[in-house]
Amino acid sequence: MPELPDDRIEVVAPNLKRRLSGVTATVVRLIPIQSSMIGIVTTGPGLPETLPHITLRRAAGLSGKRWRVWHARRNTEMALGLILRRLLRRRYKLLFTSAAQRAHTGFTRWLIRQQDEVIATSPQAASYLERPATVILHGVDLGIFHPSPEREKIRARLGFAPDDIVIGCFGRVRAQKGVDLLVEAALRLFPARPRARLIFTGRVTADNQKFTDDLKARIAAAGLSDRICFLGEVPWERVVENYQAIDLFAAPARWEGFGLTPLEAMACGVPVVAARVGAFETLIRDGETGSLIPREDIDALTNALAHWFDNDEARQAAGAAARNHVEANHAIEGEARAIVDVYRKLLA
């Protein structure tokens, strides 16, 4: 992408983490849309070359003739913004987006107090900030996440039989995501439901390897290794195909910041069973686009999965309602415009 000249740069969105994360994915999703609305660039490692980008050195040396926005999404990025403004005297307005739903540390609270403006990704996240915040829910790119007319071909390519009913759970494999709860529910349900399949995708870090191995051992002991599968990290194009191929999505997390995967699943016409954590209560219409269950309640999880699994007509209707709900309320363009409105307010 052609380099943006200094006089057209109005916003710098840092990404100070090399490995892919939810925050990085947010930057990658939003910048291409926002770049048509305002002069925005990224800085930092691990980002696609297609994004408008400047080096950290250049970000630190931008002309002080005009104000710009420094949009941080991590503590390190907030701290760097303060250094740029207070020590290097760069004219940055400081903006922080928070998704966390927990009490912040003293250092984080101090950093947040130094910001000119704060965005929260849900009302729940806003309640932990101890200062006013603009609530802007995440959106999803409906041009990427949508039901596929090639669904049966995708399912065949992924190894699913035409009459299989496939549950998906995507994201890093760890206890926080409730992976063990979902495995337990599947062990209860699957013996009486030969059409059932469950797939997990996502990285297994070294500290979660034993957790994953223990789950695989339980699955093998139940004779279900061919129907409950851990696929590991998959390429981006496969991520979307997995959403388009499944029949039901499960998000039984113990806690979440925001939790974008249910929204991506619903955009693909898939109903969702999710715990009442993160922003899930804001995103999912209980009984209409899926089910909301109490946190860490295996019985409720099992019953909700059984309800949608055993009623093909209700599941398909919920999938259509889920897609309509996302189209009406959670398109990424709305999120991008709302954030740009905050940029313009800071720059006014």
Domain residues for 69? 6-139+331-347
pLDDT digits (tens, 9 = 90+) for 67-126: 999 999 999 999 999 999 999 999 999 999 998 888 899 999 999 999 999 999 988 889
Give the integer Cα–Cα distance in Å for 58 and 61: 5
Identify whether 146 is part of a domain: no
Say what the pLDDT of residue 228 is. 97
Domain count for the chain, please give it.
2
Identify whether 224 is part of a domain: yes
**Torsion angle of the four alpha carbons 63, 346, 259, 325, in this order, in degrees rounded to the nearest 10:** -130
Give the integer Cα–Cα distance in Å for 181 and 196: 17
Is the domain of 159 the same as that of 38?
no
Give the integer Cα–Cα distance in Å for 250 and 239: 15
Q: What rounded mean pLDDT belongs to the chain?
A: 93
Judge whether 289 and 321 are in contact, CB under 8 Å: yes
Is the domain of 65 the same as that of 35?
yes
Identify whether 97 is part of a domain: yes
Amino acid at 252: P
Is the domain of 126 the same as that of 234?
no
Is the domain of 74 the same as that of 89?
yes
Identify whether 156 is part of a domain: yes
Identify whether 1 is part of a domain: no
Is the domain of 197 the same as that of 314?
yes
Q: In CATH, what number is assigned to the domain containing residue 97?
A: 3.40.50.2000
Amino acid at 299: D
Judge whether 198 and 229 are in contact, CB under 8 Å: yes
Is the domain of 156 the same as that of 82?
no
Q: Average the pLDDT over 16-39 and give the result.
A: 85
Is the domain of 187 the same as that of 306?
yes
Is the domain of 107 the same as that of 184?
no
Is the domain of 133 the same as that of 200?
no
Is the domain of 236 the same as that of 110?
no
Residue 1 banded pLDDT, cuts 50, 70, 90:
low
Identify whether 121 is part of a domain: yes
Identify whether 266 is part of a domain: yes
Is the domain of 118 the same as that of 170?
no
Identify whether 271 is part of a domain: yes
pLDDT of 338 higher than 80: yes
Amino acid at 330: H
With residue 51 as reference, give the H or E element that holds it: none
Q: Rg of the chain's alpha carbons, rounded to an integer?
A: 21
Is the domain of 133 the same as that of 160?
no
